[in-house]
Amino acid sequence: MTCRAWRSLAALAAGGDLDGRKQRRWEKHLAACPDCREEFRQLQESLARVRSLARREQTPDWPEAAWRRAVNRAVEQTRRPAAPASLRLPGWAWAGAAGLLIALIGAGVSFLKPGRAPRPAPERSLWADIILPEIAPPAPAEPGTAPALRPRPSSAFSRRPAAGRPALPPPRPPASTVMAMTFVSQETGLTVHWTFNDAFIYQEDHK
């Protein structure tokens, strides 16, 4: 073992932290090596100095009132106010409710996913009803009659604007599926119908 290797043990030896076998070998080397002896002496002295400084330095202490307050705070803060019995539910109930909620959200998301295959288009779409007047203004209606809607010209699906005509918005799959829910009150017979588009997504360019 070289002196360099021995010196790695010197710091531990200075505080008496070598185990018995290593300590004996260290002492044997120390008796034969003045350089290591000097290093060891310096380590011991610096350690003794720091310990002495630390003993003389007063660390803060709790004033009695502050100590009592700290202990009381620890006890008080750890006590949790018990929930009223009516609100207390077993853990499995909370877990079940959370699972049900996640399943409902998952089912809703998968059902309403916008990337679903388009369904068969109806003969006339809402989009056509709105756009057609822009590209082909209807003839003036006769008094007392509603303006007739014309079928969409095939060029209306082209993204390129025809000469002299404004650009059309890109074509989109026609809104088709309609979902409806009906609520009937058994007591009063009141009936409420809710009808939904299947996209449920607000899209500005529908305007």
Partner 1 sequence: MDDKENQLVAMVLAGNSDAFEPLVRPYRRALLGLAYRITGNEEDAREAAQEALLNSYRYLGGFDRRRSFRNWLLRILVNAARKAVCRSSRALSLDNGADPVEPAEGPAGRFERKELGLRIKDCLAVLSERERVVFLLRDIEERNIQDTAEILGCSSASVRVHLSRARTKVKAELARRYPGLAGGGS
Residue ranges that bind partner 1, judged by CB under 8 A: 8-9, 11-12, 14-15, 17, 38, 41-51, 53-54, 56-62, 66-68, 70-71, 73-75, 77-79
Residue 6 near residue 26 (C-beta atoms within 8 A): yes
Least spacing, CB of residue 80 vs partner 1, in Å: 10
Cα–Cα distance for residue pair 138/20, rounded to 1 Å: 107
Residues 6+ apart with CB under 8 A from 150: 132, 136, 138
Q: Which residues pair with 180 in a beta bridge?
A: 195
The count of residues in the chain is 207
Least spacing, CB of residue 10 vs partner 1, in Å: 8
Least spacing, CB of residue 94 vs partner 1, in Å: 22
178's enclosing H/E stretch is strand 178-184
Helix residue spans in the chain (DSSP H): 3-14, 20-32, 34-56, 64-78, 91-111, 126-135
Least spacing, CB of residue 23 vs partner 1, in Å: 13
Least spacing, CB of residue 66 vs partner 1, in Å: 8
Q: Among residues 200, 111, 131, which one has the least CA distance to residue 172?
A: 131
Residue whose CB is less far from partner 1, 43 or 128: 43
Q: Which residues pair with 195 in a beta bridge?
A: 180
